[in-house]
Structure 1
């Protein structure tokens, strides 16, 4: 056992994903992960655990003062580690780290991880994360991006590159889509290829010192913070390498200390040429702005200027009853205040393009203008093709239009991202609730009733309403009303504020549109507090898939009966979620990939169309 007497810093055990070098991944991603550890090491004695492990055993071995769990990462070749026995060593404070974009579709997986690991306080690298996860914003702090000054510095390179264009410029980056072509067509530029993170060519991109030297040799370098108005690493890397930052004006960028024509240059599609012409015509002015930007970064945005996790550790140690911890801003310090003071953390209230469109679509949907609402939600997907909030709302629109197959497919995809692709133990509770409701709208009530208890610890207001629907219909079919207890799980989705009666009336109308008039009638009576005397005959299985569902349900039931819960996958026993494939994966060691592939091919014969 390691003694804690041989070090002065508090010990932090960092449960980090397995970010090992990958031939198909961009090398700068691995560098980012290494720099995060280096930043933590400025205040902590850091022990990195990046393998499957037993939390109790790790705590016994290293005796940490604090543990930090990375979660919610969108792989790019890295492996999410498995951690067991996290309900031990309760005296050791635990923090979650959302190491991903604010809009990432792994947010539901992050919230599931936090619930499973018993973590109630989180840090995020994205300044806009509180706006994208409002359900946890009170306990969510920002540990923002930074630079390593040993890499991003002034190398004394001669300014031989007028403009360097680096970074991707697809739909997520509307500013770059507008500005980059205008610059490229007018000025000599060094243009970096736009390889995706997972591309085999991504490893060829400049990174580390080579990238910093290219920036240092550049006169001006433009970048932006995506449609979300985020502060990305490039905002710090460019001026930190003593190049003139040309960027979009956003609330987050201004919160970082950037001021137009003082330490950066704000441009848009209307004035970019005019402003760059000015910079090239006035090199001394540009040098002044560049020097001021360099000073800003090296005085406020290096890894030594990110003490927020350490501050939380110190404040939490002395936290008294009636006190809480708040943050003065996304780049600010943490402090302790009385709860009675009503002071809250200061979060950025930006104008993220997808959030604006979602709000517009929600207003249109409430007014019954479904087609117009759909266009708003589809426009969100032009920015982020996998945005879960937009996909979820499109599923609601599909139900409103009676297109049950479309709604079902969208909801299946959402749940699959969390429990299959990410590997969380349970899905977002709202997505799961509406998946069950979509089954009912398709006339598959019995399937919904069987699945409602598949995640016994899952609880949420919308999920309880889905159970209420099932209970009301089950009463009419001599069913049993289920009971559920537990604390509500957090969701990434926000829904209109309705009473239960209003919601039941809304869903009854939805059932009517989905050609389920008998079920709609039951709910309308329920909303009025009435009972329906006539017993309903509810369909049990789709005729063309009944045998498959019986096989899947039978295997799942057998595993429960044999108490093989450790091998039982966390995906529903349906072909859409590759249930048999996940059963096989649990039986085969991780290293035996070839046999696993053969099993997968064999099981694919049992899958229905779209099941993979």
Structure 2
């Protein structure tokens, strides 16, 4: 069978603060000959998807359409201002893509920051545009079931096949540069005072107060296109990690395997973090490929590894090997090709797709704990009382059915 051909929709993010998606897309193009990427910064003559397909494929069509565009854009919002300025987009061309719902091609949504939309908005994005699949860093086993249920409705979960999709990095940027280790501990990125990274906040406060540690911290430069300014991005960012014995981070309030997990592994720095959901499926083993910590023991563990350099070197080397064998963009592209081939042939896909099936997604309602769902943090701007009300009614309805069934069983025994 011929290799699947896909049409990817995305702006060109090569010079973005974090260009991980650009390198992932290039790896997919290399793995799937005949595939095309279309959008601002690439070929971009129209924003209307039916016309894009005619322009690229003529009377034919791709096997799949993979949409990398930020989810807010799929609600009709214009592209980010920095994208509009960089590519001098005018008028309607600032809104991309349009007409996704007008094409009869299997559509795949790429989902990362799932907390950016409410459940109702995800309904509009995924159901309104006719997505059949989602490559998602946001679904079990890489986040808690309660988190997944909070953001994605039963209708979405029964309609859209979620494929667990861990992030991947390019070894062109993230690698062992062979640099001298000049920092004991490094922590980079946003701290979010509202509590999105609670452990990272605590780590920063504690490490900064340890006068005997050579501690380096720099805040996130913001998501944007970078020019010639001396921002700590790209290989400059990777080199700092490579110069660090320990790289400290956390997995956010949602316990997801964020990009920094792979960045630390790739640059041969000891990853010091709480374990993300699904760590075992990623090869993350405490004391072997990373150091698992919590808010109580991270300082003691950091000091122990610094006092035992052979162990620190062993775990750091194991982590780098894990990255090189399982988490590069080329490896992920190979896995993506296998998943698409399986779907085209009507076979159940393996790889990460086998970790969370549609049946499992639908069945979550039956095992859900309302208390666990209610405890999931959600940004205040997205609080929607109606979604809470519907969830309460759904769970109470299930409880009522169970009580009625139990009553019939007890009555039969009498």
Bin for the TM-score computed over the shorter chain: 0.7 to 0.9
Residue ranges of structure 1 left out of the alignment (5+ in a row) = 1-7, 22-26, 349-354, 363-375, 397-429, 435-492, 503-612
CA distance in 2, matches of 1:106, 1:327: 30
User: Separation in 1 of the partners of 2:121 and 2:356?
Assistant: 30
What's the secondary structure of 2:342's corresponding residue?
A: helix
Whether the aligned pair in 2 keeps the contact of 1:230 and 1:253 (CA below 8 Å) is no
Cα distance in structure 1, aligned partners of 2:302 and 2:14: 41
> Which of 163, 173, 181 is equivalent to 1:151?
173
CA contact (8 A) 1:130 1:347 kept: no
Match of 2:9 in 1: 15
1:15–1:68 Cα contact (<8 Å) kept: yes
- 1:240–1:347 CA distance, 2 compared to 1 (3 A): farther
Structure 1 residue 243 corresponds to structure 2 residue 284: no
Q: Is 1:182 paired with 2:190?
A: no
TM-score normalised to structure 2 length:
0.73
Select the residue among 166, 173, 184 that pairs with 2:197. Answer: 173
Q: Residue 133 of structure 1 corresponds to which residue in structure 2? A: 152
Give the whole-Å Cα distance in 2 for the aligned partners of 1:20 and 1:494: 41
Normalised to the residue count of structure 1, the TM-score between the two structures is 0.51
SS in 1 for 2:246: strand
Following superposition, the deviation at residue 146 of structure 1 comes to: 0.5
Write out the 4+ residue segments of structure 1 that deviate beyond 6 Å after TM superposition.
198-201, 345-348
Partner of 1:316, secondary structure, is: helix
From 54, 60, 65, the counterpart of 1:67:
65
Superposed CA deviations along residues 465-497 of structure 1, whole A, max 9, x for unmatched, are xxxxxxxxxxxxxxxxxxxxxxxxxxxx73422
Q: Cα distance, 1:174 vs. partner?
A: 0.6
Q: Does 1:275 align with 2:301?
A: yes
Give the greater-gyration-radius structure (CA): 1
Shift of 1:53: 2.5
> Following the alignment from structure 1 to structure 2, what is the Cα–Cα distance between the partners of residues 141 and 241?
28
Find the counterpart in structure 1 of residue 51 from structure 2.
57
Report deviation, 1:273: 2.1
Per the TM alignment, residue 163 of structure 1 is displaced from its structure 2 partner at its CA by 1.3
Instruction: Give the Cα separation in 2 of the matches to 1:228 and 1:494.
Output: 20
Residue of structure 1 equivalent to 2:253: 227
After superposition, the C-alpha distances for 1:184-210 in whole angstroms (9 at most, x for unaligned) are 211221211244447999x75411111
1:87 to 102, 108, 129: 102
Measure the CA separation in 1 of the matches of 2:109 and 2:330: 21
- 1:443-486 CA-to-partner distances (Å, cap 9, x unmatched) read xxxxxxxxxxxxxxxxxxxxxxxxxxxxxxxxxxxxxxxxxxxx
Count of aligned pairs = 351
Give the C-alpha shift of residue 276 in structure 1: 1.4
User: Are residues 37 and 199 of structure 1, via their aligned partners in 2, closer, same or farther at CA, if it must alter by over 3 Å?
Assistant: closer
Q: 1: CA distance between counterparts of 2:280 and 2:243?
A: 26
Query: Any stretches of 5+ residues in structure 2 without a counterpart?
Result: 73-78, 84-93, 401-414
Residues 80 and 279 of structure 1: CA distance in aligned 2, closer, same or farther (over 3 Å): farther
DSSP 3-state at the match of 1:41: helix
Structure 2 equivalent of residue 113 of structure 1: 125
Question: Are 2:20 and 2:169, in contact at CA under 8 Å, matched by a contact in 1?
Answer: no
C-alpha distance in 2 between matches for 1:336 and 1:240:
27
RMSD over equivalenced CA pairs, Å:
3.7
Note if contact 1:143-1:308 (Cα within 8 Å) is conserved in structure 2. Answer: no
- Distance in 1, Cα, partners of 2:117 & 2:102: 27
User: Secondary structure of the equivalent of 1:117?
Assistant: coil
Residue 318 of structure 1: which of 340, 345, 348 is its match? 345
- Which of 99, 105, 110 is the aligned partner of 1:97? 110
- Structure 1 residues 193 and 55 mapped into 2: Cα distance closer, same or farther (>3 Å)? closer
